[in-house]
C-alpha cells in the first residue's frame, strides 16, 4: 500500500497564488515518478478552478469539510455530493480547527463521514489531543474516545493523528510519540473494525516539513502525512512526496 501525502491549504489561496502553486507542484512532481498518492485540499473557492490541472497531473483533489446532509437549508455549507460534482475524491473531517472554532462534536464528525462515504468520497478523519490533555497523561484516552465517536461502522477512510499542541508550532511530535500513538490507533482500529482495521491508513500531521519528514514517514503504522503550512510552497511540499515509500 502506497503512503499518501495530503496537503491542507486551510484558508489560503487566491486564484493567482493557487494557480502558481499548482503549476509548481505539477512541474516538481512531474520530473520523477512518485511513489506516493498525493492529495491537495484547497479552499472551496478554488476546487473547480484547480480540478482539471490536478487531474492531468495525477494529483487527487480533496476538500476541507462537508455537511452531513445531502441538501437543504444550510446557508454557507457544502454537501458531499456537491464536492463529488466538482471532481473531489477526498475530504478532511474533524480537524481540530473545525472542532475548536466550529464546536464540532464527535457525533457530527461521524455523521459527516457517513455522508462522505455515501457520496463516494474518502473521508480523512482527524483526531488528536491538546496540550492540557497531553500534560495530564490523557493522550491515548482522548484519541481513543475520538476514534470510537468519530468513525462510523463500515468506515472506509483514513485516520489522521494531529496532536493539537504540535499544529503550527514548527515542531512535530517526537518519533517515539508518533510511534506510540500510531500503534495505539492501529490497535483501536482493529478492536473497532476487526481485520478491516489493519488496512485503514494512518497519517501523522502537525508541523510536518521537508526537514523532519524523513524521520516521520518510516515510523511503523504511519502511512503518510497530513501537511499544513509546508503544502503552501511547492519547493517544500514536493520533497515530502519524494520521501514517501511505495509500500
Does the annotation list 165 as a binding residue? no
Tell me if 168 is assigned to a ligand binding site: yes
Given 104, 129, 162, 188, which residue is catalytic?
A: 162
112 annotated binding-site participant: no
Question: Strands, DSSP E only, in the chain?
Answer: 4-8, 37-41, 60-63, 90-93, 122-127, 158-161, 201-205, 224-227
Q: What is the spatial distance between Cα 19 and Cα 212, in angstroms, rounded to a whole number? A: 27
Q: Which of 53, 112, 125 is nearest to 83 (CA)?
A: 112
Burial class, 135, CB count within 10 angstroms (exposed 0-12 / middle 13-18 / buried 19+): exposed
Q: Is 129 a catalytic residue?
A: no
Say whether 8 counts as a known binding-site residue. Answer: yes
8 A C-beta contact, residue 216 and residue 210: no
Helix axis angle, 234-243 to 15-30, nearest 10°:
40
Q: Binding residue per annotation — 229? A: no
Q: What is the CA radius of gyration of the chain?
A: 17
Q: Is 221 one of the annotated active-site residues of the chain? A: no
Extract the C-alpha cell encoding 197.
482495521
Q: Which of 67, 95, 129, 221 is catalytic?
A: 95
DSSP E strands in 58-181: the ranges are 60-63, 90-93, 122-127, 158-161
**Positions marked active-site:** 95, 162
- Residues at the binding site for substrate are 8-10, 168, 207
Amino acid at each position: 500500500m502506497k503512503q499518501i501525502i495530503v496537503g491542507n491549504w486551510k484558508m489560503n489561496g487566491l486564484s493567482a497564488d493557487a494557480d502558481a502553486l499548482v503549476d509548481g507542484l505539477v512541474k516538481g512532481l512531474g520530473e520523477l515518478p512518485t511513489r506516493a498518492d498525493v492529495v491537495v485540499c484547497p479552499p472551496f473557492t478554488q476546487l473547480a478552478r484547480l480540478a482539471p490541472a490536478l487531474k492531468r497531473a495525477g494529483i487527487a483533489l480533496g476538500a476541507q469539510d462537508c455537511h452531513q446532509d445531502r441538501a437543504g437549508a444550510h446557508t454557507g455549507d457544502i454537501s458531499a455530493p456537491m464536492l463529488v460534482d466538482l471532481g473531489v475524491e477526498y475530504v478532511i473531517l474533524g480537524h481540530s480547527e473545525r472542532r475548536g472554532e466550529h464546536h464540532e462534536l464527535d457525533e457530527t464528525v461521524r455523521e459527516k463521514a457517513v455522508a462522505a462515504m455515501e457520496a463516494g468520497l474518502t473521508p480523512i478523519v482527524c483526531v488528536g489531543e491538546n496540550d492540557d490533555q497531553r500534560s495530564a497523561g490523557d493522550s491515548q484516552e482522548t484519541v481513543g474516545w475520538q476514534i470510537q465517536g468519530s468513525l462510523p461502522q463500515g468506515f472506509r477512510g483514513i485516520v489522521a493523528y494531529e496532536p493539537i499542541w504540535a499544529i503550527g508550532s514548527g515542531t512535530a511530535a517526537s518519533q517515539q510519540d508518533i510511534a506510540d500513538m500510531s500503534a495505539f490507533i492501529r490497535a483501536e482500529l482493529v478492536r473497532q473494525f476487526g481485520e478491516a482495521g489493519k488496512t485503514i491508513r494512518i497519517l501523522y500531521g502537525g508541523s510536518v516539513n521537508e526537514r523532519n519528514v524523513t524521520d516521520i514517514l518510516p515510523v511503523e503504522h504511519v502511512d503518510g502525512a497530513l501537511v499544513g503550512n509546508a503544502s503552501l510552497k511547492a519547493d517544500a511540499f514536493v520533497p515530502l512526496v519524494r520521501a514517501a515509500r511505495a509500500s
